[in-house]
């Protein structure tokens, strides 16, 4: 096949329920500057975190199809809820590799913990799925996993309340039961949460290692690209395309600034919920 | 036509982006106990409050169609965002009467104010639409409207944090600019907010009259039913049917308890976003 048609020139497809997945984009860009990234945020139906498995599966498969239409060579599910609920079905359906954020985060947590007490925070749907618990105990049966749903953190982050007494108060409440269990490692099980890393670190205290799913997902993507022989040529400089399913940009510009990303014009993609 | 086929035996169709519209259901039941109500909450795509006009119109028209399939004799848009953004298009499209929550709330506010300084709180989309401002100043050019988007209130309410220092803190921040303007009347421009009436009353102080869109919408529906000759026979006792577009019930049971509603089994309705 002609050189320029080789899949290694195709983009990495990244999707999230909204804007939070841009933390994964930032990690991918840092690690893989040669890769072009096509990001779709399903802002017309955000958030996924309180919705059912069936609905999250339908949405994820639909957005996956939109990314394949953009020639994505790999699908990165940069949303913990979709990773926890929809990745198995996506792997069945799509021919390209599918990488979620749960398994890399679980592996990093098992590696980081010394006392085998791991805390996980995320949306209601992610925590209720038990996906992190399953992934962690599969890797290490002796690990004890304590989870806590933190439904207010995403709205607080989307309001840009990164450094705010209200956010600190809510973090104090959410983390108290985990700290009572003596965790030494805390998985940030939602792609929004790295934006709140400082406040979470303050609330958790210096004895707790924070595991960021964005960074670990980017590492897993690098491995997958290498093992499939589809990594972009290193001399190339990748670009970033961002598309949303609703014209309201929400906190896109807040995230762009906080993550030091360069996002130009945002495209619009229509979604249809198939039966 | 045979008696039982007369539209007065048909249900009132009520829709909301999620669960909040049940405050309108409670007000309708109190005022119109003979009416059967069919409620659809679009929990698969909740919330509408941060989305664009075009998307909110598409969703509203789709849910309106589902209610007409249930023989709804009138459509009640029990969601301020959809009322502000989609009611004009819905009135063009549907043959049955369409009643939103904005115009009754605006009329009640104009009636209640003495100093002609009216505050409005709501979601980002409702406030950005300027719908209350437009409705109020159309009724009374001399009224000054001060609006404030309160994006965190819906998540706080959905967490059942009705009586909580965090909620009080956020209310204090949101209401401060309105109180600085000397408002004597405050429109609760989101159907979730009546659940937070006590805390809002405390934050606003005794000199401010709260205008509840739910109650005023129910009064407007009663008038519409009478003027169209489609009110249910008074001797009948109406029932309540609730359907959601996602199987996750979210804070349905919290609202059921807080509003003293009797909700039995919840049905599921699939939604499709048409082009």
| CATH number for the domain that contains residue A149 | 3.40.50.1860
| Helix, strand or coil, per DSSP, at residue A29 | helix
For chain B, the domain total comes to 2
Quote the crossing angle between the two packed helices B102-112 and B80-93, to the nearest 10°: 120
For residue B95, the distance in angstroms to the closest alpha carbon of chain A comes to 26
Our CA-based measurement puts residue B35 at a distance from the nearest CA of chain A, in whole angstroms, of 31
Does residue B273 fall inside a structural domain?
no
Banded pLDDT at B50 (limits 50, 70, 90):
confident
- Alpha carbon of B229: minimum distance to chain A alpha carbons (Å): 38
Question: Choosing among B17, B46, B51, which should be mutated to test the A contact, i.e. which has the most A CBs within 10 A?
Answer: B51
What is the edge-to-edge ordering of all strands in the sheet holding B266-268?
B98-99, B74-77, B12-16, B37-41, B240-244, B266-268
Domain boundary among B214, B236, B258: B214
- Quick check: B254 contacting A, CB < 8 Å? no
Q: What is the pLDDT of residue B3?
A: 62
With pLDDT > 70 as the criterion, what percentage of chain B qualifies? Answer: 97
Interface with A, mutate which of B43, B44, B62, B154 (most A CBs under 10 A): B44
A150 is catalytic: no
Q: Nearest by CB to B54, from A165, A247, A271: name it.
A: A247
Q: What is the spatial distance between Cα B42 and Cα A208, in angstroms, rounded to a whole number?
A: 40
- Say whether pLDDT at A68 is over 80: yes
Residue of A nearest to B43 (CA): A51
Q: Which residues in chain B are closer than 8 Å to A44, comparing Cβ atoms?
A: 45, 51, 55, 273
What is the end-to-end Cα distance of chain A in Å, rounded? 37
- Among A219-233, A240-254, B112-126, the range scoring the smallest mean pLDDT is A240-254
**Is residue B135 within 8 Å of B109, Cβ to Cβ?**
no
pLDDT of residue B270: 82
| Residue pLDDT, tens place only, A96-117 | 999 999 999 999 999 999 999 9
Residue A109, domain member (yes or no): yes
Which chain B residues are within 8 Å of A252, Cβ to Cβ?
none
First CA to last CA distance, chain B = 37
Across-strand partners of A167? none
Say if residue A84 is in the same domain as residue A176: no
Q: Does the distance separating the beta carbons of B272 and A271 come in below 8 Å?
A: no
Domain identity same for B128 and B262:
no
Distance, in Å, from the CA atom of B82 to the CA atom of B76, rounded to the nearest integer, reads 10
B106 shares contact with chain A (CB less than 8 Å): no
User: Quick one: A55 and A91 in the same domain?
Assistant: yes
Q: How confident is the model at residue B64 (pLDDT cuts 50, 70, 90)?
A: very high
Residues within 8 A of B (CB atoms), A 48-67 only? 50-52, 54-55
Residue A274 lies in a domain: no
Q: Measuring CA to CA, which residue among A113, A98, A90, A85 is closest to residue A217? A: A98
Residue with tokens 């498969």: A61
Task: Please tell me whether residues A67 and A122 are part of one structural domain.
Answer: no
Residue B2 lies in a domain: no
- pLDDT tens digits along A126-176: 999 999 999 999 999 999 999 999 999 999 998 999 999 999 999 999 999
Q: Are A13 and A75 in contact, with CB atoms under 8 Å apart? A: yes
Task: List pLDDT tens digits, range B192-247.
Answer: 999 999 999 999 999 999 998 888 999 999 999 999 999 999 999 999 999 999 98
Q: Check A169 against B170: CB less than 8 A apart.
A: no
What's the confidence (pLDDT) of residue B274?
37
Q: Does A247 touch chain B (CB under 8 A)?
A: yes
Give SS3 for A188. Answer: strand
Higher pLDDT, A114 or A247: A114
A108 and A168: one domain?
A: yes
Residue where one domain finishes, among candidates A213, A228, A248: A213
Residues B197 and B133 in one domain: yes
Residue A213 has pLDDT above 90, yes or no: no
Q: Of residues B249 and A215, which shows the higher confidence score?
A: A215
Which residues of chain A have a CB within 8 Å of the CB of B155? 151-152, 155
Contacts with B, A 140-199, CB within 8 Å: 151-152, 155-156, 158-159, 165-166, 169-170
- Tell whether B3 is covered by a domain: no
pLDDT of residue A3: 62
To the query of whether residue A217 is one of the catalytic residues in this protein, the response is no
Minimal Cβ distance to A250: which of B44, B50, B274:
B50
Q: Which of B192, B194, B139, B199 is nearest to B174 (CA)?
A: B199
Contacts of A169 in chain B (CB under 8 A): 165-166
Strand positions, DSSP E, chain A: 12-16, 37-41, 74-77, 98-99, 117-122, 144-149, 185-188, 209-212, 240-244, 266-268
The pair of structure tokens assigned to A85 is: 């609920």
Distance CA B196, CA B186 (A): 13
Kindly tell me if the per-residue pLDDT of A2 is higher than 70.
no
pLDDT classification of A272: cutoffs 50, 70, 90:
low
Which chain A residues are Cβ-neighbours of B172 within 8 angstroms?
none
- Helix, strand, or coil (residue B108): helix
Q: Determine the Cα–Cα distance for residues B237 and A215; give it in Å rounded to an integer.
A: 59
CA distance A81 to chain B (A): 14
Q: In this structure, are A125 and A206 located in the same domain?
A: yes
Please report the pLDDT score of residue B158 as a whole number: 87
A155-186 burial code (b ≥16 CB/10 A, e <16) = bbbbbebeeeebbeebbeebbeebbeeebbbb
Between A264 and A238, where is the model more confident? Answer: A238
Task: Say which residue, A268 or B187, is predicted with more confidence.
Answer: B187
Please identify which of the residues B79, B146, B150, B217 carries the catalytic annotation.
B79
- Expressed as residue numbers, the domain containing B152 is 102-214
- A275 in any annotated domain: no
**Which residues in B96-119 are b (16+ Cβ under 10 Å) and which e?**
bbbbbbbbbbbbbbbebbeebbbb
Partners of B41 in the β-ladder: B16, B244
| Cross-chain CB nearest to A54 (options B125, B247, B273) | B247
Do B92 and B219 lie in a common domain? yes
Residues B133 and B262 in one domain: no
Q: Which residue has the tokens 């098992």?
A: A110
Contacting residues of A for B272, CB less than 8 Å apart: 272-275
Helix B22-31 and helix B252-259: axis angle, to 10°?
30
Residue A61 shares a structural domain with residue A108: no
Q: What is the pTM of this model?
A: 0.90
- Chain A contacts of B273, Cβ < 8 Å? 44, 270-273
Establish if B1 touches chain A: CB-CB under 8 angstroms.
Answer: no
Number of H helices and number of E strands within chain B? 11, 10
- The verdict on residue B89 lying in a domain is yes
B275 domain residue, yes or no: no
Active-site position among A146, A150, A190, A217: A190
Task: Please enumerate in sequence order all residues whose Cβ is within 8 A of that of B3, keeping only pairs 6 or more positions apart, or say none.
Answer: none
CA-based nearest distance B172→chain A, Å: 12
A130 touches chain B (CB under 8 A): no
Please name the residue that has the structure tokens 């401010």.
Answer: B208
Pair (A171, A117) in one structural domain: yes
**Phi and psi at residue A205, in whole multiples of 5°?**
90, 165
For residue A7, give Cα distances in angstroms to A15, A77, A225, A228, A229: 19, 19, 10, 10, 9
User: Does pLDDT of B136 surpass 70?
Assistant: yes
Q: Please list the residues that pair with B243 across neighbouring strands.
A: B40, B267
Nearest to A158 by CA among B216, B175, B81, B49: B49
Give me B203's structure tokens. Answer: 């934050």
- Say whether B169 and A170 touch across the interface (CB within 8 A): no
Sign of CA dihedral B196, B197, B203, B204: positive
Cis status of the peptide bond prior to B47, with omega within 30 of 0: yes
**Final residue belonging to a domain, choices A196, A213, A230:** A213
How close A257 gets to chain B, by Cα (Å)? 20
**What is the chain A residue with the closest CA to B155?**
A152
Residue A274's pLDDT band, with cuts at 50, 70 and 90, is: very low
Q: Same domain for B95 and B106?
A: no
Mutate to test the interface with A, among B160, B248, B251, B274 (most CBs of A within 10 A): B248
Is any Cβ of chain A less than 8 angstroms from the Cβ of B138?
no
**Rg of chain A (C-alpha set):** 18
What mean pLDDT do residues B141-156 have?
A: 96
Phi first, then psi: what are they for B264, rounded to 5°? -90, -130
């Amino acid at each position: 096949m002609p050189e320029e048609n080789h899949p290694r020139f195709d983009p990495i497809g990244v999707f999230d329920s909204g804007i939070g997945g841009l933390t994964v984009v930032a990690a991918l860009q840092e690690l893989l500057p040669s890769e072009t990234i096509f990001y779709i945020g399903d802002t017309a139906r955000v958030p996924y975190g309180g919705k059912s498995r069936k609905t999250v599966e339908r949405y994820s498969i639909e957005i996956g199809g939109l990314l394949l239409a953009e020639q994505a060579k790999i699908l990165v599910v940069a949303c913990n809820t979709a990773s926890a609920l929809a990745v198995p079905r996506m792997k069945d359906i799509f021919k390209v590799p599918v990488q979620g954020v749960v398994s890399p985060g679980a592996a990093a947590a098992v590696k980081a913990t010394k006392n085998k007490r791991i805390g996980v925070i995320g949306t209601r749907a992610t925590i209720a799925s038990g996906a992190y618990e399953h992934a962690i105990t599969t890797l290490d049966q002796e690990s004890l996993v304590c989870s806590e749903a933190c439904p207010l953190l995403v709205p607080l982050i989307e309001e840009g309340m990164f450094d705010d007494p209200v956010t600190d108060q809510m973090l104090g409440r959410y983390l108290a039961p985990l700290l009572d269990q003596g965790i030494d490692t805390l998985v940030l099980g939602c792609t929004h949460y790295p934006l709140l890393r400082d406040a979470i670190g303050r609330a958790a205290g210096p004895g707790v290692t924070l595991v960021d799913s964005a960074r670990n997902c980017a590492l897993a993507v690098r491995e997958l690209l290498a093992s499939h022989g589809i990594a972009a040529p290193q001399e190339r400089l990748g670009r970033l395309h961002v598309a949303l399913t609703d014209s309201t940009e929400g906190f896109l510009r807040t995230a762009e600034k906080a993550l030091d990303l360069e996002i130009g014009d945002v495209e619009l993609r229509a979604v249809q919920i198939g039966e």
